[in-house]
């Protein structure tokens, strides 16, 4: 788990994706441009501003009692696909909001939050969530 978090630190911590020489932007970081097939990609940091394309309120139990890793979520919790102002879309939790406050097209901005924790004293995974702007 630790290594898999570490590998994606750029994407999870700093909302860093890739920019192709053809100008296509990708999130998370890409090895090959989906538009032109080029491998000449450089790091690109996104602003974290965007809008909600679609969302859902998840009411099922997510955390399995037999696993030590727990996701930091409310009950229920909100999952959305957010389109970043630069173009790419991202799936994320919408935090600090009641379900009835969330609307299609709502402006959101990214925040840095605790995503999950593996056991009482275990590894904490941090990353992006979004809040209503």
Using CB under 8 A, list all residues that contact other proteins: 4, 8, 11, 28, 34, 53-67, 71, 73, 77, 79-81, 88-93, 99, 104, 115-116, 127
Q: Which is nearer to Zn ion, 16 or 97 (CB)?
A: 16
Going by C-alpha positions, the residue among 58, 55, 48 that lies closest to residue 108 is 48
38 binds Zn ion (CB under 5 A): yes
Q: Which is nearer to other proteins, 1 or 40 (CB)?
A: 1
Half-sphere exposure of 121 (CA within 13 A, CB side): 0
22 binds Zn ion (CB under 5 A): yes
Residue 116, φ and ψ in degrees, nearest 5: -155, 160
Q: Which one of Zn ion, other proteins, none interacts with residue 100, CB within 5 to 8 A by kind? A: none
Minimum CB separation from Zn ion for residue 22, in Å? 3
Per DSSP (E only), the strands in the chain are 16-20, 25-26, 41-45, 49-58, 69-71, 77-84, 89-94, 107-118, 124-132
């Amino acid at each position: 788990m630790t290594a898999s978090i570490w590998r994606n630190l750029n994407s999870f911590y700093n909302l860093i994706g890739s920019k192709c020489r053809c100008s296509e932007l990708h999130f998370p970081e890409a090895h090959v441009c989906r538009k032109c097939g080029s491998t000449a990609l450089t790091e690109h940091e996104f602003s974290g501003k965007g809008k909600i394309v679609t969302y859902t309120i998840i009411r099922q139990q997510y955390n399995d009692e037999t696993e030590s890793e727990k996701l930091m979520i409310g009950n229920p919790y909100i999952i959305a696909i957010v389109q970043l102002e630069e173009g790419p879309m991202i799936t994320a939790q919408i935090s600090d909001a009641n379900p009835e406050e969330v609307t299609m097209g709502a402006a959101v901005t990214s925040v840095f939050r605790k995503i999950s924790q593996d056991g009482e004293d275990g590894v904490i995974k941090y990353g992006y969530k979004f809040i209503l702007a």
